Amino acid sequence: MNQLKQEKIRVIPNGSVSSPKGFQAGGIHCGIRKKKKDLGLIISAVPAVSAAVYTLNIFQAAPIQVTKESLADSPYLQAVIVNSGNANAYTGEQGLLDAYEMRDTVAKTFDLSPMNVAVSSTGVIGERLPMERIVEGIAKLPDSISSENGLAFGEAILTTDTFVKSLAIEIGIEGKKITIGGTAKGSGMIHPNMATMLAFITTDANIHPEALQKILRDVTDQTFNMITVDGDTSTNDMVLAMANGLAGNTPLNENHPEWEVFYQGFTYIAQQLAKWIAKDGEGATKLVSVKVDGASSLMMAKTIAKKIVGSNLVKAALYGADGNWGRIIVAIGNSGYPVDPHTIDITLGPIMVLKNGQKQRYEEEEVTEALSQSEVEIQVDLHLGEYSAEAWGCDLTYEYVRINATYRT
């Protein structure tokens, strides 16, 4: 995003999915987890144009199947119910019935059409939901939601995350204030393919259904699909967008004169959420960004950037602040693309360590210092073309192993 366009974006303090006009949200503890909030809801005052992208894991969890069914019926949703602590994945026919019961209970409680309710779950795979507790929890949600309670929703959807990932912005279109909010969860089992983790984006913009689906796919490819923590794509990954039109603008599509303003705002929300997920990788101590320039195709740039940021050898070296750029070369070579070894530049932080395939003179201590920061940038220039891409990830630590060795306990 260039500076001029970013100046048109105003970040709302403590913003969330309930910041756009007509949206409410909240989260409570219903007993799936021991103490933490574990049941959340987003609801719009009117049916909202909606779009989603989903995991490509062949074992798609029951909630995804139910949400897909709702959106196949029409591109409108009015609410989404989310639980944490239990993924309702690989639970057979009963799991599907439980997801339907969650949907139908929300619809009855809030006087909505069941087909206007989406369902999402996250947590342990292979265990049935405690439906009695969830149904009782849904009955308490009307008293727990408001336009000011979006951060509680963000808290309710967390699993091994260490912080709530929520924000909202304002942009101007046709002289009207348009608000876009977002909340996500994700810490481990993050290696997106079409979608990733759980992310929810709300806006009061008026937008054509086809335009919302297209922008969601395009922006997901640039943001959520460019993060990786551990190489695993979950059974429950989903990104869902809802636009209720209450800002009162002329319907947006790619032919609208201010489409680019909305596109940049939507991208800003998704990119920030994606970077927070990468930064909050299980046990992570640093956010890692990898920028690849000079590729001969966009797919080449994307693939190599993700190969580098997803390499366990690179991630372990970054944890130890070890400037072993040879591991980056290995990752590039494993991309499957023909690369000229004599034209590669590599920069770690501000320090160029390789130019035209030749090691440069630098102080190891300076590289170590650069890699010891909480945010680390790696830049690679292939000098083969004009395409660029950026990917985000984190380092690989002892704590990651501990968390995942004891996940169910």
Known catalytic residues? Answer: 196
CA distances from 262 to 114, 132, 312, 372 (A): 30, 42, 37, 37
Quickly count: other Cβ atoms within 10 Å of residue 93's Cβ. Answer: 8
**Which token pair is 204?**
């009061």
Burial of 132 (0-12, 13-18, 19+ CB in 10 A): exposed
CA dihedral 342, 343, 349, 351 (to 10 degrees): 60
Q: How far is it, in rounded angstroms, from Cα 391 to Cα 301?
A: 10
Question: Pairing relation of β-strands 39-54 and 238-243?
Answer: antiparallel
Kindly tell me the burial class for residue 177, based on how many C-beta atoms sit within 10 Å of its own C-beta (0-12, 13-18, 19 or more). middle
Burial class (CB in 10 A: 0-12, 13-18, 19+), 350: exposed
SS3 string, 323-391, reads: CCCHHHHHHHHCCCCCCCCCCCEEEECCEEEEECCEECCCCHHHHHHHHCCCEEEEEEECCCCCEEEEE
Q: Is 312 left (phi over 0), alpha (psi -120 to 50) or beta?
A: alpha
| Number of other CB atoms surrounding residue 261 within 10 Å | 19
Rounded distance between C-alpha atoms, residue 153 and residue 284, angstroms: 24
Maximum pairwise Cα distance, the chain: 69
**Integer angstrom CA distances of residue 253 from 53, 176, 246:** 19, 16, 16
Closest of 144, 82, 74, 146 to residue 116, by C-alpha: 74
